Amino acid sequence: MVKVILVGNGAREHAIAEALVRGGAILRAFMAARNPGITKLCNNNIKIGKLDNFEALASFAEGCDFAVVGPEAPLVVVCADALQSAGIPCVGPTIQCAQLEGSKDFTRRLLDKYNISSNVPHTKFSKRDYDRNAILSAMETYGAEGYVLKPDGLTGGKGVRIAGEHLKSYLEGLQYATASLDSGDDLVVEERCEGEEFTLQTFVDGTHVVGTPLVQDHKRAFEGDQGPNTGGMGSYSMPDGLMPFVNQADVDQAILVMEKTVRAVKQETTETYKGFLYGQFMKTPKGIRLIEYNVRFGDPEAMNVLPIMESNFVEVCQKILDGTLGGQLRFQKKATVTKYLVPTGYPDNPAANALIEVNTDTLQKVGAKYYFASVDERDDKIYTSKSRAIGILGIADTLEQAEQVAEHGTACIQGNLYHRRDVGTKNLLQKRIDHMNRLMSKK
């Protein structure tokens, strides 16, 4: 039996834990809070602590065959390096390779230096020394509704501000930029892309980049794509593994970009990228554009692809470490829809410490799966935090059927929670198809 330690305690990690156990792993978990789903899969072999306490992590990992790191934050501060130094191979990139997510400027400069297509023009401003007029000039270069502002480091998916959507004037853009810089974040001003985003999650063994079914996330907090950005309110995938507005040629191009990026990282840092790599791409009238890289599985997107994975996840992880990945992976030809239940008031003023009750019998009857996210189990009761609480997954032959399973599943959870009912619906998908068709007709 293969002994594996999992780092992290969100819904993404719950889905990873399920896939590891399904693959035959004996699992233990190092978590910041007690996720009841992961705890059960580990048979209570868990340790609670700060995810950047690498000494405690390495001690708890002793005797494991390898580690899988779920969230990005530990990876960008030497988690993989610390585990490897302790003799525990890690499915997750070293700190040098993790710059692909840890620094947006690093990624943009890397793609420029190695002539990798799909890049977006950008300008970086330093928190140590910046000029307000230079920031304004950079925004004006792209036009009043043609720029995007991004803190250079990690923001949990909530730091991006788009001109014309979040920012209504150059003044608002300048205010956000200077506030971000003054708070201690470097800032990137990028050209805004117009199109439809899609998520391509892959497995990387240093040479091979092997893809999974495409997923589309919904960042906005409220129905109709309204409200502030979140870590993701839900996502869907299609039975053919593509999107109605993304064809196989688009995917092949995105994979090629990711393969070239992995080689470029090796040339730039001398270190080999091993782990998961998530490319957030956008299809535009000018072609495929890279919005950003994430050095881990997506959350919620991991819940869409891992439960329908037919290949043995433990064996895939071993091949990543051995550098023998190659070939295609097997997935069920099913549609999936994930809907996130979040505390009332999320993301701006979430209601924390609210009791959640999960009717597992009813969930099973409606055919929905569930994955605990940012919750805490105390005295056999489950409470919300200030972040997303629980992901509900529907799997079916069609998107419409999967959406209904997920929607019925949300009714099996009681608590001070809300969710976006429109995630995965036919009407919302058609809105995206129409949007892409209008753009492509203007080419």
Considering the entire predicted model, what is its pTM? 0.97
What does the alpha-carbon distance between residue 233 and residue 165 come to, in Å, rounded to a whole number?
Answer: 18
> Does domain 3-94 bear CATH number 3.30.1600.10?
no
pLDDT, one tens digit per residue, over 341-362 is: 999 999 999 999 999 999 999 9
What does the alpha-carbon distance between residue 220 and residue 291 come to, in Å, rounded to a whole number?
Answer: 17
Judged against a pLDDT cut of 90, whether residue 327 lies above it is answered with no
Alpha-carbon Rg for the chain, nearest whole angstrom, is 21
What does the alpha-carbon distance between residue 102 and residue 93 come to, in Å, rounded to a whole number?
Answer: 11
Q: Give the chain's mean pLDDT.
A: 96
In contact, 337 and 348? CB cutoff 8 Å: no
User: Average pLDDT of 302-307?
Assistant: 98
Longest dimension (CA), the chain: 61
Structure tokens at 421: 């009912």
Domain boundaries, the chain: 3-94, 127-185, 196-428
User: Which pLDDT belongs to residue 44?
Assistant: 95
- Bridge-based pairing of strands 209-211 and 196-204 is antiparallel
What does the alpha-carbon distance between residue 216 and residue 201 come to, in Å, rounded to a whole number?
Answer: 11
Cα–chain center distance at 120: 20
> Does domain 127-185 bear CATH number 3.30.1490?
yes
370 beta partners: 392
What does the alpha-carbon distance between residue 185 and residue 382 come to, in Å, rounded to a whole number?
Answer: 34
Q: Where are the beta strands (DSSP E) in 265-347?
A: 275-284, 287-294, 335-343
Judged against a pLDDT cut of 80, whether residue 158 lies above it is answered with no
Instruction: Among 3.40.190.10, 3.10.20.30, 3.40.50.970, 3.30.470.20, name the CATH number for the domain at 196-428.
Output: 3.30.470.20
pLDDT, one tens digit per residue, over 386-434 is: 999 999 999 999 999 999 999 999 999 999 999 999 999 999 999 999 9
pLDDT, one tens digit per residue, over 104-151 is: 999 999 999 999 999 999 999 999 889 999 999 999 999 999 999 999
Judged against a pLDDT cut of 80, whether residue 283 lies above it is answered with yes
Judged against a pLDDT cut of 80, whether residue 239 lies above it is answered with yes
